[in-house]
Structure 1
């Protein structure tokens, strides 16, 4: 005697070896013996032979039509499988027919719901319709996925991928048919998804891939300004006095947001009046205006080699930038300075000033440099003003206790991109240009921070204690700069924090209530969000500088290069701001130079391989 039984949702057959009423000892076709519960048995049979039984069952089950059986069933009531088999076959079913019916019911869960041991219920018509539609969708998706896989294997990008290309590259839905097809081919080809997409022509530009990834994540609405693109700022410069000085700016050649300028006016007895003039967009951007809300969203201009994403629209920048020959609204800090460069008087004003010149680093440095200053032979139309500012900056640096700052030995790098050709220019930090600009900016940010503090007006301060930098509404020392408080105020067109501080300062100078109180939500939110955004933007700039360094290595066909050991196996390559780890580097003291072989430069991953060749003589 044999049994047809159910175990763990599967139908099985076996020969009875022993019947113990509540349980049976059985032997399967392949000889395995096991013990089953008597309640698991659906029926017993003698023929056909055990080894042939399931073959006959499968053959008949394949002939059964689940849709026809469903139509034959009484709706909304349970039924026994043998009753359905009797109705279908027109007679009491034999063991093979009974088993085939059970197998069909078990394998058609959309049509029949299992309700118990050998008992089922027909699915409601609406539920069946929905289930069949879902099954058809799955079938079509499977066909679509197979077609995608076939095309991707030939490195052909399916047309359906193109509308959602950015999402596939930067934030894929891993349950989508497109991604599943990509995963299958990536596994077969042993490629990353990005590399596969590149081979399919989906990434024509490695630069655009990285840039667009940043835009996708942090500027989902795009980098444009919409209807604010051409909307002028609301000017508030009525009755502003005109300065009796003329100013000049000092910036990189690519700078369009010129925030700061300087003036030097001789006074009696060898003294001078120095003016530090900061562009005043706060006069044209009211708090909580549409333009202000946009700036509060961006929080800062984003910089990267050869490009930038400005915080403010071009129209606003054009109106407030300190452009040559323009008369511009500014907030000015005037310093009366004696002949020994001691500050004897300070005054802040809101005014209009004429900008006589926009000096650019690349041209100015040819005249205003250490060699010219040491020889006392500075040939420039503003030589007297520049020399005076240089001497004053040296005095300020000394007063801060930073005149022997080792940072002045470091190198800064600037990138110039022209038609995909990259030039990386080294500049020693602490050059006369750098010192003049940085010292005067430190002074103005420190002084205006002090004025806000003394007046009891809230500002956003940047402090540094024990190497940790943080922003706060409370003034605190900045140890790195050697000042008692520091409030960013000198770049209001490029940093939202500076714009906020400028509004507070203007209110102080006009003797008006400040726009922000200490517990202002807008101020606290802006401070918190600015720190986050500033970190993200800075990391993006560094990652794109790394990208262009790798482009430079390829462009110059550099295969070997010298590098300086920083620590352990970390080195910095010569002539470019590129740091990497060299696994093969032996134990060499920091500061030593080594020669490396470069290979496997990957612009998409922004990686390369560096191999130690030899130690170089110092």
Structure 2
């Protein structure tokens, strides 16, 4: 005797070996033995071999008309044997009973299972809805396969073309477009990014990296709403100075300018003039809401996404020949030892005489030419004064830095400037951080940020500071740069406090600090009552948190794009063998461009060791580089320092 039974949702057959109580010992067609409970047995039969019954039942099942079976079943719950008698016109034979069970079990949208061998026909409305759903899925499967076929054949379906960025960044994994893309990629053994680039969904790797960043950080696009331009013809005293700015040729948000005045008593007054959008914007007004959403300008080689609309920037940027509102810090110095005698902060109008550019002057203005008073260029005497001043400021910072227990700062580190033309040809230029114009700007900005940070602290109002040192744990943890709302030392820079104040057109933190500083200037000792942000202000903490997160994301994107343009530079110049410097274990940096390369398995070499490397291949999509070490030069390049320090330049 044989059994037809259900086990784990499947129908099976087997021959009875023995029975003990309510359990059968059964041998399955493949020879395996199993224990079957009596309650799982649907019927016994002896007319067929177990495997033969399954074969014949499958044929019977295929011949059963589901729609007719559903009509025969009626509305009430039924047992399979009763339905079989109605459908077949007689008590069902074993193969017919099994085939009917197969058919009922395989059509859950037609028949709901109610128990062992018992079912109920689905209501007509439910059945029609389910059938419509099945038809929709069938049609979607057809369309999905059409998409797959087109992709494999090298054509990009319109439905995927219009959804390219979302498919790569945040896809709906249940959509037929995403499923088709994955299926085609599996068939072609290629990544979605490469397939969409190959088929023109994205024009090039640069656009891919940019699209991903914009999708994540600017989901509504980068366009600004229409704004009302504030009146910058303010009733402020006009500074009687001959001011000038020093920037890269690509800079349009000119935040800072400088002036030098010799006073009647022989002392020298240095002016640091910062663009003052805080005089035309107020916390929580419509312009502030725009700045608060972006929090910073986003920089990338050849392009940028500004924090403020261009028309607003143009009202405050310190363009040559234009009268602009500014927040000025004046420092009176004794020219004998360049000590600071006093400082004063003013809100005033300023007319910058010239916008000087590094690109035009770096070759003329060197430490040697300044020492010998050689060359002819604008504001030569003023620049000489600022150069001496910056050297004194740096020396004092380094003394304080050493007082914090840190070794002297490396003075020969190299920066790189990227220039991308309209044809996407990239030029990368090395610039030593100790170049005089760089040092002048850096030191005066540090001086201003430290002085204004002290001003906020002395007036008892909070600001947004950068702090380094004084932490716990490892050296890296102790030296991690943090953002705080109270004055705290920045040991890396060698200052007692450092508040970001000198880039209010480009960083929201600086704009906030400018509002706070203006409160000090306007209200003096009553500033704590009038400043926009009070001590322990929750809104200020929220700004710090939001800015920290956004600034980190923007910085990561800038680094990624610089790496991309480094790879483009390699391709454009057909570079294969390069000089590199060890910056830490198994990590190199190229000498000519700021490209780092991981060299797993490389033998240990001292930091700064120069090596020659063969670049085997690189990928502009995942930004990877494969290289092999050719030769080692035992010279040590001190510019390879990767110390965790604050960037000196703005």
| C-alpha deviation, 1:515, in angstroms | 0.9
8 Å contact kept, 1:22–1:37: yes
Match of 1:266 in 2: 262
Aligned-partner Cα distance in 2 for 1:470–1:16 = 77
* CA separation of 1:381 and 1:204: change in aligned 2, threshold 3 A: closer
Match of 2:181 in 1: 182
| C-alpha deviation, 1:192, in angstroms | 2.0
Instruction: List 4+ stretches of structure 1 deviating above 4 A.
Output: 48-51, 402-405
Secondary structure of the 1:610 match is strand
8 Å contact kept, 2:253–2:317: yes
Match of 1:489 in 2: 501
8 Å contact kept, 2:13–2:51: no
Which of 273, 293, 297 is the equivalent residue of 1:297? 293
Match of 1:472 in 2: 484
2:444 is the counterpart of 1:410: no
| C-alpha deviation, 1:48, in angstroms | 4.5
Match of 2:324 in 1: 328
Match of 2:475 in 1: none
1:184-263 to 2 correspondence within 5 Å? 184-228=183-227, 231-233=228-230, 235=232, 238-263=234-259
Secondary structure of the 2:324 match is strand
Aligned-partner Cα distance in 1 for 2:453–2:71 = 84
Secondary structure of the 1:253 match is coil
Match of 1:444 in 2: 448
* CA separation of 1:590 and 1:239: change in aligned 2, threshold 3 A: closer
Aligned-partner Cα distance in 2 for 1:481–1:39 = 82
* CA separation of 1:31 and 1:391: change in aligned 2, threshold 3 A: closer
1:579-594 to 2 correspondence within 5 Å? 579-583=596-600, 585-594=602-611
Aligned-partner Cα distance in 2 for 1:530–1:585 = 39
2:571 is the counterpart of 1:567: no
1:28-427 to 2 correspondence within 5 Å? 28-75=28-75, 77-228=76-227, 231-233=228-230, 235=232, 238-340=234-336, 341-401=338-398, 405-418=408-421, 419-427=423-431
8 Å contact kept, 1:583–1:611: no
Match of 2:642 in 1: none
Aligned-partner Cα distance in 1 for 2:334–2:29 = 109
2:463 is the counterpart of 1:459: yes
* CA separation of 1:80 and 1:584: change in aligned 2, threshold 3 A: closer
* CA separation of 1:91 and 1:475: change in aligned 2, threshold 3 A: same
8 Å contact kept, 1:407–1:429: no
Aligned-partner Cα distance in 1 for 2:594–2:32 = 71
Secondary structure of the 2:6 match is strand
Secondary structure of the 2:502 match is coil
8 Å contact kept, 2:501–2:510: yes
Aligned-partner Cα distance in 1 for 2:128–2:331 = 84
**Which sits farther off after the overlay, 455-464 or 398-407?**
398-407
Deviation track 1:451-486 (CA, whole Å, cap 9, x = no partner) reads 111111221111111422111111011111111111
8 Å contact kept, 1:2–1:16: yes
| C-alpha deviation, 1:51, in angstroms | 4.5
Aligned-partner Cα distance in 2 for 1:269–1:30 = 111
* CA separation of 1:47 and 1:595: change in aligned 2, threshold 3 A: same
| C-alpha deviation, 1:45, in angstroms | 2.6
Deviation track 1:10-51 (CA, whole Å, cap 9, x = no partner) reads 222233343445233333344444432232222223325544
Aligned-partner Cα distance in 2 for 1:406–1:481 = 9
8 Å contact kept, 1:422–1:551: yes
8 Å contact kept, 1:80–1:120: yes
Aligned-partner Cα distance in 2 for 1:534–1:370 = 34
Secondary structure of the 2:226 match is helix
Secondary structure of the 1:379 match is coil
TM-score, with length taken from structure 2: 0.91
Match of 1:602 in 2: 619
Equivalenced residue count is 614
Match of 2:539 in 1: 522
* CA separation of 1:91 and 1:161: change in aligned 2, threshold 3 A: same
Which of 510, 516, 523 is the equivalent residue of 1:504? 516
Aligned-partner Cα distance in 1 for 2:547–2:500 = 12
* CA separation of 1:363 and 1:613: change in aligned 2, threshold 3 A: same
**Which sits farther off after the overlay, 156-165 or 495-504?**
156-165
Aligned-partner Cα distance in 1 for 2:484–2:50 = 83
| C-alpha deviation, 1:320, in angstroms | 0.2
Give 5+ residue unaligned stretches, structure 1. none
**Which sits farther off after the overlay, 373-382 or 490-499?**
373-382
**Which sits farther off after the overlay, 490-499 or 190-199?**
190-199
Aligned-partner Cα distance in 2 for 1:576–1:327 = 40
8 Å contact kept, 2:411–2:433: yes
8 Å contact kept, 1:234–1:285: no
8 Å contact kept, 1:149–1:181: yes
Deviation track 1:160-203 (CA, whole Å, cap 9, x = no partner) reads 21121111122223333222233333333332221222233323
| C-alpha deviation, 1:554, in angstroms | 0.7
Aligned-partner Cα distance in 1 for 2:479–2:87 = 85
CA RMSD in angstroms comes to: 1.9
**Which sits farther off after the overlay, 562-571 or 424-433?**
562-571
| C-alpha deviation, 1:149, in angstroms | 2.3
